[in-house]
Structures are given as structure tokens and as C-alpha cells.
């Protein structure tokens, strides 16, 4: 697979992108809705409720590994979204002809982690300024895109990108798209939990592991115990 054999070029490409400014918790707090705007939580009816977020940020092997570590995240599923072909296969998506993006569907507990916190990690763990590319992975299937499931998520994504722009987090323009979620197709079984099951694979060691180590260092308070 291209990802497995081009990991050295991917590292070189990522290293040339420069280091963006950190997205601090204080910045994230500034775009979270006020407590008075949030729905009340009642123990009897809402304690088991979860929400869903769908992000595309390049290789789903990477993004799945990052979000699985977060406190409040109950599951992460790799898959395809945003295309025109029903039930696409990995080989079809890799051609770029189906219009799908490699993406992850996150099921999370909003009482433990906010959607804005997920956005923070999303933007910190990929480059949202490169169009249809992450490192050496090129093509529309590797685009940066947020797929919202309701108006609140759409507004949160818009506010977050405005924050990144206003704070000049990146030297280049953020090209992340914000789109209404369409059908999410689960990827083949061998793509699920890929990093956890293939840590010795070169791509995992050289590309995913360093980014995961940085995530664990910078976001200790957001990680599962």
C-alpha cells in the first residue's frame, strides 16, 4: 500500500510544513457555548446519551489512533463519506473517482468531552492548510473536512475556523471544508483499530507513533487513564 511504502517521504513533507502556533485551551473555551445556552442534563434521561462527530483529516489510520485515546470517546470507526458511490471499497476510494474522503466517526460522551475539544485535537493533529493532501498522501480522499450532523456542530466548526484565522495559528489559509454529513460507510475490517494492531508496521512507527506521542504530551488532561 502506498501509505506503508512512502512513510519516509511523508515525514519529510510534514517537516517542511512548519510549526503552527498551539491552540490553547483558553482559545477553545472562548468559542464554547455559554452554560446558559446548553441543554440541561438530567441524570435519569441523559446520562446514557452520546453524540457523534465525523472528521476527515487524511489517513484514517492516523486519525483513528488519535481520537481513540481521548477521555469521553467511546468508539472510533474508520470509513468513507462525501462521495457519490454507494458502499465504496478502499480500492475504489483510493482512485479518487468516488469522491469519498477517508474519515472517522466518533461516538463521544458530551458530558466528558465537548465537540469543541474534539475540534481542537482534530486541527492539532493534521495540516488543514494543504488542499487534498496530508504529507505524502495526496488526492481528494485525503482532504480536510468536517461533516456536521446538526446546526450546532456547523456553527461550532465555523467559529473554530474563524478562531484559527483570527489568531493566525497557521501561516497559510485553512482550507478545511464544512459540509453536511451524508452516508458514512464503514471501512473494511482490516482498517479498524489499524494502529493498535499494526504498531510494528513502518508507517505506524515513523508517522503515527511520533504524532501520538506529541498528543499524549500536550493533552494529558484529555486522555483516558
Nearest-Å Rg of the Cα atoms of the chain is: 17
| Confidence band of 20 (pLDDT split at 50, 70, 90) | confident
Q: What does the pLDDT look like over 168-191, one tens digit per residue?
A: 999 999 999 999 999 999 999 999
CA dist 82 and 99 (Å) reads: 6
Confidence at residue 90, expressed as pLDDT on a 0 to 100 scale: 98
- Look at residue 38 and tell me whether its pLDDT is greater than 80: no
Strands 144-148 and 177-180: parallel
**CA nearest 87: which of 184, 170, 175?**
184
Query: To the nearest whole percent, how much of the chain has pLDDT over 70?
Result: 85
Confidence at residue 40, expressed as pLDDT on a 0 to 100 scale: 52
CA dist 144 and 140 (Å) reads: 9
Confidence at residue 14, expressed as pLDDT on a 0 to 100 scale: 41
CA dist 207 and 52 (Å) reads: 27
Tell me the C-alpha to C-alpha distance, in Å, between residue 189 and each of 42, 77, 79, 209, 225.
37, 10, 10, 21, 27
Confidence at residue 46, expressed as pLDDT on a 0 to 100 scale: 53
| Confidence band of 7 (pLDDT split at 50, 70, 90) | very low
A 10 A CB-CB count for 178 gives: 16
Domain boundaries 62-218, corresponding CATH code: 3.30.1060.10
Confidence at residue 225, expressed as pLDDT on a 0 to 100 scale: 84
Asked about 59 being catalytic, the answer comes back as yes
| Confidence band of 48 (pLDDT split at 50, 70, 90) | low
Residue in this structure with the C-alpha cell 485553512, named with its chain if needed = 174
Q: What's the mean pLDDT in 77-96?
A: 97
Mean pLDDT, the chain, as a whole number?
89
Confidence at residue 3, expressed as pLDDT on a 0 to 100 scale: 54
- Look at residue 1 and tell me whether its pLDDT is greater than 50: no
Q: What does the pLDDT look like over 110-136, one tens digit per residue?
A: 999 999 999 999 999 999 999 999 988
Q: 3-state SS string over 100-132?
A: CEEEEEEEECCCCCCHHHHHHHHHHCCCCCCCC
Residue in this structure with the C-alpha cell 482559545, named with its chain if needed = 27
CA dist 113 and 109 (Å) reads: 6
Query: Annotated catalytic residue: which of 59, 62, 94, 204?
Result: 59
Any idea where the domains of the chain sit in the sequence? 62-218
Query: To the nearest whole percent, how much of the chain has pLDDT over 90?
Result: 81
- Look at residue 92 and tell me whether its pLDDT is greater than 70: yes
**CA nearest 83: which of 98, 105, 104, 103?**
98
| Helix, strand, coil percent content, the chain, rounded in steps of 5 | 45, 20, 40
pTM exceeds cut of 0.85 = yes
CA dist 78 and 187 (Å) reads: 6
Confidence at residue 105, expressed as pLDDT on a 0 to 100 scale: 98
Q: Which residue has the higher pLDDT, 23 or 42?
A: 23
CA dist 152 and 42 (Å) reads: 20
* DSSP label at residue 148: E
Amino acid at each position: 500500500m502506498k501509505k506503508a511504502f512512502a512513510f519516509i517521504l511523508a515525514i519529510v513533507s510534514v517537516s517542511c510544513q512548519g510549526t503552527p502556533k498551539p491552540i490553547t485551551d483558553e482559545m477553545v473555551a472562548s468559542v464554547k457555548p455559554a452554560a446558559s445556552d446548553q441543554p440541561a442534563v438530567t441524570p435519569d434521561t441523559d446520562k446514557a446519551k452520546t453524540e457523534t462527530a465525523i472528521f476527515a483529516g487524511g489517513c484514517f489510520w492516523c486519525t483513528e489512533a488519535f481520537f481513540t485515546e481521548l477521555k469521553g470517546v467511546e468508539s472510533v470507526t474508520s470509513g468513507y463519506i462525501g462521495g457519490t458511490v454507494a458502499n465504496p471499497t478502499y480500492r475504489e476510494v483510493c482512485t479518487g473517482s468516488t469522491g469519498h474522503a477517508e474519515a472517522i466517526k466518533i461516538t463521544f460522551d458530551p458530558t466528558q468531552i465537548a465537540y469543541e475539544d474534539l475540534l481542537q485535537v482534530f486541527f492539532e493533529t493534521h495540516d488543514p492548510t494543504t488542499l487534498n493532501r496530508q504529507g505524502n498522501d495526496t488526492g481528494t480522499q485525503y482532504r480536510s473536512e468536517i461533516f456536521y450532523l446538526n446546526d450546532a456542530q456547523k456553527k461550532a466548526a465555523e467559529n473554530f475556523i474563524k478562531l484559527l484565522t483570527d489568531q493566525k495559528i497557521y501561516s497559510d489559509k485553512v482550507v478545511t471544508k464544512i459540509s453536511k454529513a451524508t452516508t458514512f460507510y464503514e471501512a473494511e475490517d482490516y482498517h479498524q483499530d489499524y494502529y493498535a494492531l499494526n504498531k510494528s508496521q513502518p508507517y505506524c512507527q515513523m508517522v503515527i507513533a511520533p504524532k501520538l506521542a506529541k498528543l499524549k504530551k500536550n493533552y494529558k488532561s484529555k486522555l483516558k487513564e
